[in-house]
Structure 1
């Protein structure tokens, strides 16, 4: 989920930490030397530079003064305040449940023209049915100890968000490993509905759904983490603990290369439908 509140807030925090670390290094100070000049333990410097502790305005002013960069203090303080405001908003949204998180990227999806999605574990969010999405998001809420488990409402919001597939001006290149078809999420009825929808969505002219067969021999690329590429500009990588957003052109290019290699192993059309039907039959 690109530009999610969680990843944006963390990115803002890390940007402040990076600027402070750059100031220290430019001044030729070690972690211990800066801590001594600021009057705190060197462990605090490490926590701030690793974005584990948010610096106070006083901390930032002391840091900038120690580095001979007092003129940058006001700008850093303002940047830090904005980052912490984002983080507080993210925590409020988490306490309110997952529905808001699904809705937070609607605008971004509408602005994106080309979606490239590879998933080694789950049906991509844009192709999920409400039953599948509700079961999945409920489990995620439980795993992450989110106070409000609104999986059903979040699932409905995810399906509403997915209507972008039917909006003119967008193309979707989607790849999944065959194992995705066999990983049951929700009950048999929800899974059957999900697999049936893959047959429908995969036939849409704006959607190219490829499935990499489990029996593929001599793979040219191994199964990797789920990732989304948006208009060749942003890669969103899904991890168990967080989402990583990548904009560095060389790294984006690496994921595009991986996508093309994975895509070369996929089957489409009748061959892809046969794999889905096989998984549906196994549910009965």
Structure 2
């Protein structure tokens, strides 16, 4: 895994490891005694207790039986599954295609009242045209060798999700690096259409859209990984190798603070519209 050892996923793995060590100690067993009774090498017990190796559900059952704590099996299996859900590598996430993955996150978009998004290289999904989304997902399908070609279905799901921009009492705040206005996905015509769409969507009362110019002093905050905050309950981070779900309040607060700092570097309203118009003129020259 590529995320920091201080991430929610690693913290949760360490908490589970600590819990298993406590169960062993409460049972009065040495690591060697537990390993012998469970039928594995003592090094495996050490790796599990130091969060160097993720235990399987079978490992947890064996651990609890050896420690005479079978009543804890269901609870520990639940913790393990929660840990696994925090980190999802793209290969596992997309093994059933792109549509299922996109549909799986729809509920949190529907529930969220305050949505905050920072992107440094691409227009975020809620603001994309269907053509731009098609180009993005087709590129991901090819690059990550997704085994199921369901791009059209995934695009339809993403487009349908955008109804929350127009309905209900949702509020959306987007901060983008100005480079997102120039990176072409699908060619100049698709980007031009996308830029025109941004000029329209930023008029929505539910939407705040700002861009960080290249001329701004980045000393207060430099570009970071793309992230999305759903109320103050969850933050999602997209990395090269996978998808990180953060639920730890302290870490969500760090992303919220980062977002606030980035908003102060961005320009809005007429200045933001001028940046879009400038990028569109350059594209059509």
Judge which range, 74-83 or 62-71, deviates more.
74-83
TM-superposed CA distance for 1:66, in Å, is 3.3
Residue among 2, 19, 41 paired with 1:22: 19
The answer to whether the aligner puts 1:39 opposite 2:20 as a matched pair is no
Q: Contact 2:13/2:54 (CA < 8 Å) preserved in 1?
A: no
Q: What does residue range 210-249 of structure 1 map to in structure 2 within 5 Å?
A: 210-249=210-249
Unmatched runs of 5 consecutive residues or more in structure 2: 1-7
Q: Is the Cα contact below 8 Å between 1:23 and 1:69 reproduced in 2?
A: no
Residue pairs, 1:41-120, within 5 angstroms: 41-42=41-42, 44-45=44-45, 46=47, 52=54, 54-56=56-58, 59-73=59-73, 75-76=75-76, 94-120=94-120
Aligned to 1:278: 278
Deviations 1:132-189 (A, max 9, x none): 1111111212222210132233222211111211112111111000011111111211
Q: Following TM superposition, by how much is the alpha carbon of 1:211 offset from its aligned partner in structure 2, in angstroms?
A: 0.3
Residues 113 and 231, structure 1, Cα contact 8 Å, conserved in 2: yes
1:188-227 residue pairs with structure 2 within 5 A?
188-227=188-227
Contact 1:199–1:276 (Cα < 8 Å) also in 2 = yes
In 1, Cα distance between equivalents of 2:117 and 2:21: 40
Please tell me whether the aligned partners of residues 119 and 175 of structure 1 are also in contact (alpha carbons under 8 angstroms): yes
User: Secondary structure of the residue that 1:60 maps to in structure 2?
Assistant: helix
For the Cα contact (< 8 Å) 2:228–2:236, is it kept in 1?
A: yes
Cα distance, 1:78 vs structure 2: 7.3
Alpha-carbon distance between aligned partners in 2 of 1:92 and 1:150, rounded to the nearest angstrom: 16
Aligned length in residues: 268
Gaps (5+ residues) in structure 1? 1-10
How many Å separate the matches in 1 of 2:137 and 2:150?
8
Q: Larger relative contact order (C-alpha < 8 A, sep ≥ 6)?
A: 2
Q: Could you state the TM-score of these two structures normalised by the residue count of structure 2?
A: 0.81
* TM-score, normalisation: structure 1: 0.81
Moved more, 270-279 or 135-144: 135-144
Alignment partner, residue 148 of structure 1: 148
Give the stretch that moved more between structures: 247-256 or 38-47. 38-47
Which runs of structure 2 are paired with 1:249-260 in the superposition (5 Å)?
A: 249-260=249-260
Matches of 1:184 and 1:272, distance apart in 2: 19
Q: Which SS does the other structure have where 1:186 is aligned?
A: coil
User: Quick one: distance in 2 between partners of 1:110 and 1:190?
Assistant: 28
Q: Determine the structure 2 residue equivalent to 1:266.
A: 266
C-alpha root-mean-square deviation of aligned residues, in Å? 3.2
How far does residue 129 in structure 1 lie from its aligned partner after superposition? Answer: 0.9
- In the alignment, the residues of structure 1 paired with residue 117 and residue 78 of structure 2 have an alpha-carbon distance, to the nearest angstrom, of 36
Change in Cα spacing, 1:68 to 1:227, as seen in structure 2 (3 Å) is same
